[in-house]
Amino acid sequence: MGVTIKDIARKANVSLATVSRVINNKSEGVGPETRERILNIMKDLGYYPNRIARGLVTKKTNILGLVLPDISNPFFPSLARGVEDTANKYGYNIILCNTDNKTEKEETYISVLKENYVDGVIYTSVIRNKDKSIEMLLQSKIPFVMMDRSVNVTDIPEVFTDGVSGMQQIVEYLISNDHRRIAYISGPDNNSPSEQRLEGYMKALDHAGIPIDHTIMKDGDYKISSGYQCMTELLDKGEGFTAVACANDLMAVGALEAMKERGIRVPEDISITGYDDIYLAGVLTPKLTTIAQPKYEMGCLAAELLIKLVQGEEIKDRQIILQPSLVKRESVVKRSDMLENCSHR
Amino acid sequence: MGVTIKDIARKANVSLATVSRVINNKSEGVGPETRERILNIMKDLGYYPNRIARGLVTKKTNILGLVLPDISNPFFPSLARGVEDTANKYGYNIILCNTDNKTEKEETYISVLKENYVDGVIYTSVIRNKDKSIEMLLQSKIPFVMMDRSVNVTDIPEVFTDGVSGMQQIVEYLISNDHRRIAYISGPDNNSPSEQRLEGYMKALDHAGIPIDHTIMKDGDYKISSGYQCMTELLDKGEGFTAVACANDLMAVGALEAMKERGIRVPEDISITGYDDIYLAGVLTPKLTTIAQPKYEMGCLAAELLIKLVQGEEIKDRQIILQPSLVKRESVVKRSDMLENCSHR
DNA sequence: TTGTAGGCGTTATCAT
DNA sequence: ATGATAACGCCTACAA
């Protein structure tokens, strides 16, 4: 097939070893002139190393696995881009795997990744503590870092953003705008960010001395449709809330839709907030006030951490927690600025 | 490291060859009982094949390269998901590469992909006809299919959607709504879809006997900011157009923004159309009338085609052209329904 | 500085 | 139905 190290060795009248040395430019192991000659021949013949063969002996493939729920979910592309960019920067490539949050697919992919002898994997999984796929990863000794979701197991490297702080910030912002009855549409209960955000919501209310009212809290699943659904229920049965905090932007979109259909104006009648700051948050009407996560950066940091792990570097912090930030736009208004006598019921 | 074929051979008291046979379950080459025994031992020892070693001899890695401009551009995730899903279905994995439309990055990635001996690549590139990276691909004999963009070189397998038909459809829709002065915000000139769409625009006008007026045509680059910029110019200097067709949704977002700032109402004052039907088209206000491309399907078909190529199947159509479809929403209105005496100047 | 030779884990071609 | 054994392309002691 392609030209191999052998071809160029023959043509240069040297041994395979010598060629190999110049390929991996071992500092001083070859005479400057032979090196030159070999380099030229390599260029002439259009030689490029066979990473497969190399991998077989070095046990390194320079490939990283990136397993996440769904690349077509607007939240993940930035993360993926971040890991790809930094992986590339360090000479690694990434294999993309979509799991749809299905444990089964996760396990299958982890297996495949192992078979491919990837050097490491970046993992965004539904798993809670020690799940099977984590166990597989652990015992296979392949380095990995959890991204975006925490598994709450010490010693497992992870990078994610502080969800309780994020949600707390935005709910406190709502409170500082004089809202007291703040409804909540949560995410699914199978992942840590969702849990953290709920905790942040409760913490904010607690700090402000506002009692938790479960009648204005709904369980969503991060999808637009569930935002719509939850908002509808809230509108039908919720008692006099003036604002609603959503666990992600997508659900806010659905909620917005539900309100629009009923002629409820945002933020004049009800204020709403999202979470994630995906790209559509800024183009909605009204533009959505939300919490921005440093997505791209998270991807970069996860990759960086993983690569250090792979290369056996000594690292102090195996847990990187990023801080989210509030981005104020148009969907929240002070309670005193709300339309006076509006009843949305 | 891991347990190898050798370990299990020893434990089963058979030769490597026999084990290999059961691994690749060669139909009948092993006695049913030995097969059974070997299978069990494999399970016991937690054996999984080393694809690297296998690849070295078979020259097959079961890995496909997916090179596209930018996974964080809302247009691509669906495509990527499509190829990943079908690749996975056939037992392939994909390596993701982001090129940012930079020729240099494209070439680098093609090289890397070659070094990794991927079995094939799916390529979304800026290249026009025979560019260097295509040349590399061609001479390296690795199967590839162009996706989303056509290179206009016969014999190169490609799957894309018919851009002239798409734009023609939507402009004709505008015309059927009695619009005669239809502005156009084009895409960058370095890719075929952009060219095709422009052609579709002109064709539609031509069929309707409407003269092309370059004063209401602007060159954008597919980004939100350029939609904003072009619309601003149009508003400043364009003469009495009642509708504007954008070469993609993102630019329509920018254009919408520009109009909103000036208090121009859409579609009451001006109708607008997008192209691509990305996620946000349906959540804008007004909801954007646009052309939908079967993105996910395109990814699937591209992968399917590539895999056939890889597996040496005989294929009749090396070019798959998908048909886009008009999705009518709220951003276009009949000219007679426009606000009477409005002047947006 | 350079060459020899063994081995990485599998598959594949012969034999047996 | 099985077993030797030679590749596959490269790296790496160990020699020279």
Please tell me the predicted confidence (pLDDT) of residue A259. Answer: 97
Please tell me the predicted confidence (pLDDT) of residue A191. Answer: 86
Structure tokens at A287: 């533009």
Query: What's the mean pLDDT in A158-183?
Result: 97
Mind telling me how many Å the CA of B239 is from chain A's nearest CA? 28
Please tell me the predicted confidence (pLDDT) of residue B339. Answer: 67
Nearest to B179 by CA among B132, B150, B222, B216: B216
Are residues B127 and A63 in contact, defined by beta-carbon separation less than 8 angstroms? no
pLDDT tens by residue, B148-158: 998 877 789 99
Domains belonging to chain A, first-starting first, are: 5-49 (1.10.260.40), 58-161+295-322 (3.40.50.2300), 163-293+327-343 (3.40.50.2300)
For residues B276 and B273, give the distance between their C-alpha atoms in angstroms, rounded to a whole number.
10
* Residue B302 clears pLDDT 50, i.e. is over it: yes
Predicted model pTM:
0.94
A325 touches strand C (CB under 7 A): no
For residues A255 and A260, give the distance between their C-alpha atoms in angstroms, rounded to a whole number.
9
CB contact under 8 Å between B96 and A85, yes or no, is no
Instruction: Compare B56 and A340 and report the one with higher pLDDT.
Output: B56
Tell me which of A146-160, A169-183, B238-252 is least confident: A146-160
Which residues fall within 8 angstroms of residue A46, CB to CB, at 6 or more apart?
A3
Please tell me the predicted confidence (pLDDT) of residue B32. Answer: 86
- For residue A253, count other CB atoms closer than 10 A to its CB: 27
B25 touches strand D (CB under 7 A): no
pLDDT-based confidence at A341, cuts 50/70/90?
Answer: very low
Are residues B312 and B293 in contact, defined by beta-carbon separation less than 8 angstroms? no
Please tell me the predicted confidence (pLDDT) of residue A238. Answer: 79
C1' nearest to CA of A47: which nucleotide? Answer: D9
Please tell me the predicted confidence (pLDDT) of residue A344. Answer: 47
Looking at the C1' of nucleotide D1, which residue has the nearest alpha carbon?
Answer: B30
Please tell me the predicted confidence (pLDDT) of residue B336. Answer: 85
Instruction: Fill in the DSSP letter of residue B276.
Output: B
Query: What's the mean pLDDT in B200-204?
Result: 98
Q: What angle, rounded to 10 degrees, do the helices at A192-207 and A163-176 form?
A: 40
Are residues B242 and B338 in contact, defined by beta-carbon separation less than 8 angstroms? yes
Please tell me the predicted confidence (pLDDT) of residue A27. Answer: 66
pLDDT-based confidence at A6, cuts 50/70/90?
Answer: very high
* Residue A147 clears pLDDT 80, i.e. is over it: yes
Tokens 């490609």 label which residue?
A: B158
Are residues A183 and A217 in contact, defined by beta-carbon separation less than 8 angstroms? yes
Query: What's the mean pLDDT in A181-209?
Result: 96
* Residue B341 clears pLDDT 60, i.e. is over it: no
pLDDT tens by residue, B39-55: 999 999 999 999 999 99
C1' nearest to CA of A48: which nucleotide? Answer: D9
pLDDT-based confidence at A339, cuts 50/70/90?
Answer: low
Query: What's the mean pLDDT in B311-318?
Result: 90
Length of chain B: 345
pLDDT tens by residue, B162-199: 999 999 999 999 999 999 999 999 999 888 999 999 99
